[in-house]
Structure 1
Amino acid sequence: MANHKIIFVNRYFYPDHSATSQMLSDLAFDLACEGYPVNVVTSRQLYDRPTAELTKAEDIRGVRIFRIWTTRFGRAGLLGRAFDYASFYLSAFWVLLRSTAKGDVIVAKTDPPLISVICGLVAVLRGAALVNWIQDLFPEVATELDMKAIGPAMPLARSLRNWSLRRAACNVVLGELMAQKLSEQRVDAESVRVIPNWADGDHIKPLAPENNELRREWRLEDKFVVGYSGNLGRAHEFFTILRAAEILRDRDVRVMFLFIGSGAQRVALEQWIEAHALTNVLFRPYQPKEKLGLSLSVPDAHLVCLKPGLEGLIVPSKFYGIAAAGRPTLFVGDPDGEIPRVLNAVNCGYAVSAGDPEGLVRHIEALKSDPDACRQMGLRARTEFERRFSRPRAVAAWKDLLDSFGSEKAAESSDSSYSRTF
């Protein structure tokens, strides 16, 4: 076990339920449970409620939490979001500077963007190790999503980001394609480690549709349900899915498309559905965490979509929950992407190109017409989940990484002729 302090930095943490918060909360609490000294520097806000006023400092389940001051404009406008980011940078720098000691490990996530630069500067000043836990690659994601405001600052943002990547003791990425992107930026391959995100396989388990109370409550017992669960964000390609729903509306009344969640594209999706009279599409809000196992087992098959240009910049983490629930995945995007490679290797789903609704329809019809094949795909997904994407496996990989810093420190102190400052 590492004897140095581990300081995680991310804008959201427990009790927030956003994706980055949940991953960080799982890891921080699991490490603390095993005796690791864990601190978290985060904001006082919730992802969907920027005016929330969480406690400034507290200990929860062995994790020491510092919730710093920031502005509270929220996600509605780019200018307000920029002020929220800037205030987080300043407050985080001050708190980290005061609380970080030599030999500590600062783990920087990617919300807000470029927080790794602030953490890297503190690591240099305090003699700490920097670990970047990369959920997405900014500013490339902003460019792909056509966020014009970042355009003039792109070269500077990339230069600063690359400085933080190259001076880090380790860069943790979510997949092999993301590792390739770092290689293209001349980041030392020795500093890159692939640790996928995960789902809680104890809470999310395969459940037969006929035993699912939510399926009955939503009156989907006699339907073949194609589900999408999670953020309806700008990174996702929904047109192919909506066109497939339009085709199937007139071809098979038993197929129902279920969207669980919300996000930036929710209103546009609802408008398109209304304009095209898609009676085979149902929306439901985000479900409480305690019902996640139920909600993920409502669909017979799940949709995952990603704009092709974002491959290697983002890995859709919703796949891990789908696999834990024992359901096949229908991927829409780049057929040679990170998730399609898993689907093809394990035969636990299908991938179609963005813009190919007929191909998506063919796969949906194939799964619906062969329930046993659909079920077997789901079982293979669960087996692969347990082999590669479970929470205990991810935590074990993180422990191995964090313990290596303690080993390096001990080796350095035993050799007076060799010294290293992270």
Structure 2
Amino acid sequence: MSAPARSGGRPDRVALVSQWFPPEPAPFAEGISDSLRRQGFDVDVLTGVPNYPKGVVYDGYSARRRTVELRDGSRVVRTPLHPSHDRSAVGRAANYLSWAASSSLLGASVLRAADVALVYSSPVTATAAAMTARRRWGTPYVTMVLDLWPDSIFATGFLTDGVARRLAEASLGWFTDRTYRWADHVTVPAPGLRDTIIARGVPAEKVSVVYNWADEKVMQPTEPEPGLRARLGLHDDDFVLMYAGNHGPAQRLDTVIDAVARLHDLPDVHLVLVGDGVEKDALIAQAARSRPGHVHFLDPVPPDRLAARMAAADLHLVSLANDPLFSITLPSKVQSILACGQPVLACAPGDAARVVRHAGAGFDARPEDPASLAEVVRQARQTPRSRLRAMGRAGRHHYLTHMSQATNVQVLADLLTEAARRARSDTRRDKESR
């Protein structure tokens, strides 16, 4: 593919603005940078001093000093911040706002030299530097909305009520609205989120869906983990429903255990829960009471082993609470399951269930409804395995066509090229009108 060239022949230069970047665990931000370089762009990165996920600055860095380094062909400029990632609203706010300020003040060399900026806008305050550059030098920016602000920040339990909540909600709402309006284009990871942002006043032609893709190096069809069923005391012909991920309140895995408990007449149905989380101990106790011997708990495994573990199951579960915010949320595990060519049972509202239905990749059940889920599991158990495998293949085809890295990076590349071209055209018109 030829490089996306600007007038003068050189490739467009993109400034990727992301508060988090490796060595922090930020594979999606790194994947964007790598993919854009492969598309022919010159990519610089403006990011923070690495401190995620523990809120502790990594060895070799200082929270108070700007640094510049080369990483895999990109210049990476890191600006200071207050390191924090705990449950303290004050600490988290200081972390977000300190980087918003330092990136705006000390990231000028990255943004002024760019033809266009791409903002990984979680948190939304990460957009501040791009907004500043737009006002000062006319640098256009495309913002990637990963979650809905300010709704998502309060859904995590910060500032649940009182005057502080009302002030924070009003100010964050105002700022978020400006990030959308000043952007040349807005991308979202799910169709429901696109509808919501349009309903909030952003023109429809300015909002595109760019799916978060899976880690395609590891999430792909593979052979089952050897001996997993035997270690759990399961037979080859037992029906295994697997969930892999966080065991937290948002996932409502208690509903899943309640559903399995309703299937006493199907002794070959087993639920395997892989992962960890704050609800795990309570779930273990619930399973021991309601369906002993048929709910199995496994510790998390490294990403490079997860696909093989998943391949040992017959069906994979996506579970979310029946919350309006989750109806416009597409959990990353949907893409991972589809990429692995596995069939899905979506017990979740909104986009997750819609994707599974549209792809022909499995089943869906009403969220937080154990009776509905039990009936769907019963239906899936009666489905021939050859049919389940066909659902998995259909899901992988849907992933490769609509949700893969290659497909979605091309969408991003086109949006960035168009934003840079439009900015140059506007600049020429301004000069000619003087």
Partner in structure 1 of residue 42 of structure 2: 37
Partner in structure 1 of residue 395 of structure 2: 381
Does the Cα contact within 8 Å between 1:131 and 1:168 map onto a contact in 2? yes
Q: State yes or no: 1:12 paired with 2:25.
A: no
Q: State yes or no: 1:315 paired with 2:320.
A: no
Does the Cα contact within 8 Å between 1:13 and 1:24 map onto a contact in 2? yes
Partner in structure 1 of residue 202 of structure 2: 187
Give the aligned residue type for 2:122.
D
Q: Structure 2 vs 1, CA of residues 333 and 416 (structure 1 numbering), >3 Å: closer, same or farther?
A: closer
Partner in structure 2 of residue 126 of structure 1: 137
Q: State yes or no: 1:405 paired with 2:413.
A: no
Does the Cα contact within 8 Å between 2:138 and 2:423 map onto a contact in 1? no
Structure 1 gap ranges (5+): none
Give the aligned residue type for 2:412.
W
Q: 1:318: how far off?
A: 1.3
Q: 1:277: how far off?
A: 6.5
Pairing 1:18-417 to 2, within 5 Å after superposition: 21-45=26-50, 47-53=52-58, 56=61, 57-101=68-112, 103-144=114-155, 147=158, 148=160, 151-152=165-166, 153-201=168-216, 203-209=218-224, 212-213=225-226, 215=228, 218-219=231-232, 222=236, 223-248=238-263, 250-270=264-284, 272-273=286-287, 278-307=292-321, 308-311=323-326, 313-334=328-349, 337-369=350-382, 370-412=384-426, 415=429
Q: Structure 2 vs 1, CA of residues 144 and 76 (structure 1 numbering), >3 Å: closer, same or farther?
A: closer
Does the Cα contact within 8 Å between 1:144 and 1:309 map onto a contact in 2? no
Q: Structure 2 vs 1, CA of residues 119 and 257 (structure 1 numbering), >3 Å: closer, same or farther?
A: farther
Percent identity between matched residues is: 23
Q: Structure 2 vs 1, CA of residues 319 and 116 (structure 1 numbering), >3 Å: closer, same or farther?
A: same
Q: Structure 2 vs 1, CA of residues 63 and 313 (structure 1 numbering), >3 Å: closer, same or farther?
A: farther
Structure 2 gap ranges (5+): 6-10, 62-67
TM-score by length of 1: 0.86
Output the aligned Cα RMSD: 2.9
Does the Cα contact within 8 Å between 1:117 and 1:160 map onto a contact in 2? no
Distance (whole Å) between structure 2 residues aligned to residue 331 and residue 324 of structure 1: 16
Instruction: Give the secondary-structure state (helix, strand or coil) at the position aligned to 1:7.
Output: strand
Does the Cα contact within 8 Å between 1:204 and 1:293 map onto a contact in 2? yes
Moved more, 391-400 or 48-57: 48-57
Give the aligned residue type for 1:365.
R
Does the Cα contact within 8 Å between 1:141 and 1:313 map onto a contact in 2? no
Instruction: Give the secondary-structure state (helix, strand or coil) at the position aligned to 1:186.
Output: coil
TM-score by length of 2: 0.84
Instruction: Give the secondary-structure state (helix, strand or coil) at the position aligned to 2:365.
Output: strand
Q: Structure 2 vs 1, CA of residues 273 and 79 (structure 1 numbering), >3 Å: closer, same or farther?
A: farther
Q: Structure 2 vs 1, CA of residues 410 and 26 (structure 1 numbering), >3 Å: closer, same or farther?
A: same
Q: Structure 2 vs 1, CA of residues 309 and 36 (structure 1 numbering), >3 Å: closer, same or farther?
A: same
Instruction: Give the secondary-structure state (helix, strand or coil) at the position aligned to 2:377.
Output: helix
